[in-house]
Structures are given as C-alpha cells and as structure tokens.
Amino acid sequence: MQADYESAPTALALVHRQIVDRFGNRAIRVYEAGGGSRSCLPRQVIERSDIVVVDIDETQLQNNNYATKKIFGDIQTQSFQSNSFDLIVCYNVIEHLPAPHEAIRRFSAALSPNGLLVIGAPDPRSLYGMVTRFTPHWFHVWYYRTLLCSPNAGRPGHEPFPVFYHPTVEPHALMEFAKGLGLRPLLHHHYESPTIRFLQEKRPLVGASMRAAVRFLNLFAINGRNFGHGDYHVVFEKIG
C-alpha cells in the first residue's frame, strides 16, 4: 500500500486508477472539499458526475466552471446528510485548516458505504513542509512571487493561502484518526514536491540548493524517510 514516487503526475495517476477501478464509467456523486476553481479528478469523472464544491474563497468559486453546485462555506462546519456522496476529494486543503479533524469527521458521515475519500496534502515532516511551517505568511507570498514567478500570489483567489499544519495533517496521524471513523486506507504514498522540480528547472541554483539540503537531511533519516518527498496521497474506503 505504501510507496514513494519521484513524480507528482505518476503519483496522481495511481489515485486516478483507484477512482476509475472503483466506479467504472457510471455517474457518481462527488464532493470537492475546498475544491476552489481547479480539480485533481480525471476529466472523464468530471464530465459524467454531479459535483458539489464547497470553498471559503468566493473568487475561487466564481472561477469554477465545472461544479454542478457551488457552496460558499467552511468545510470544517459544512454538513451533509449521510450517504450523500460516492467520492469526496480534499486536495491540498487540510494543511490550511485549524481543525481538519472536524472536516474529516463530516466527510465520513456524508460518504456512502464503500465510497472513497481522497486526501492529498504536504507532509509537515518534509523539508518543504518544515520550511512552510516555521516561516510567516508574508515569506510564503514573497517566495511565490519571486521564486515561483507568480505575480498575483497572495491576492484574493490566488495561492499561497495561510497554513496551520494541525497535527492531524501528519499522514500516520491522519490514518489513525480516519480508522476510528470507519475509513480504511487503500492507498498511501509520498512523492517529490512539484515545487522542487519547478525550481530545478526555473531557478537552478535554488533548486540545486534544496536538493543538496534534502540529501544532507536524508543522511540522518530513519525508516526510509525521504525529506524530499514533500507531498502525499491517501485514498480511504468507507467500510460498509
């Protein structure tokens, strides 16, 4: 179940395979929690599904052009009836929540038996995660604008968004918490943060420095940990 991958597209393709294998070609009910204006789902799933998107950013919702229903709200407090969704996706969102456990508890309640919950997030124990955790938001905005070449960074509807990194975001803590809600992990893997690869291509000196820092930290890593694998996916199944 657990593996590591160097490429974000390779890792996401495995998540897509889990979704397609589970639901085939049938129309499904999807909840994108904090989905905003972009989806990580396969195009064929988007085109044949009823998709509810909940987000606290009005600009992101206005820019969404695929949702069946858009709700301006907080996923930590937004509740739905039981058996409302076949698939719930929360992608690069839980690190921004002060109470992600409240959101996940509501996901479990709304998910149908044998339905899937997909969570993608940065690992707070990685190099990229540690830098993000211990630096202020203004630094994140500067980083996006200067190094990631994103001039609108920090403006309404644009990354980066403030991060909290609640303890539940750590993947093993997340899986233990989810287990208590009747959610069984089907897939768990880490992969290299796409930012490192972007910097390697666009800012070679910065990218090389980050990779050197990763190699140094990995000298002291235990249990096969890789500080460069900054992001992870977990796919859960609700036990019927």
Residue 4 · residue 226 · CB < 8 Å: yes
Choose between 75 and 196: higher pLDDT. Answer: 75
Mean of all residue pLDDT scores within the chain: 91
Closest CA to 34 of 151, 129, 161, 132: 161
Collapsing DSSP to helix, strand or coil, 70 comes out as strand
47-78 pLDDT tens trace: 999 999 999 999 889 999 999 999 999 999 99
Given pLDDT bands bounded at 50, 70 and 90, which one contains residue 102?
very high
Of the listed ranges 16-30, 34-48, 80-94, 175-189, the least confidently predicted one is 34-48
Alpha carbons within 13 angstroms on the beta-carbon side of residue 59 total 6
Residue 4 has pLDDT above 80, yes or no: no
Residue 235 has pLDDT above 90, yes or no: yes
Predicted local confidence at residue 86, as pLDDT: 98
- May I ask the CATH class of domain 2-238? alpha beta
Whole-number Å distance between alpha carbons of 135 and 142: 11
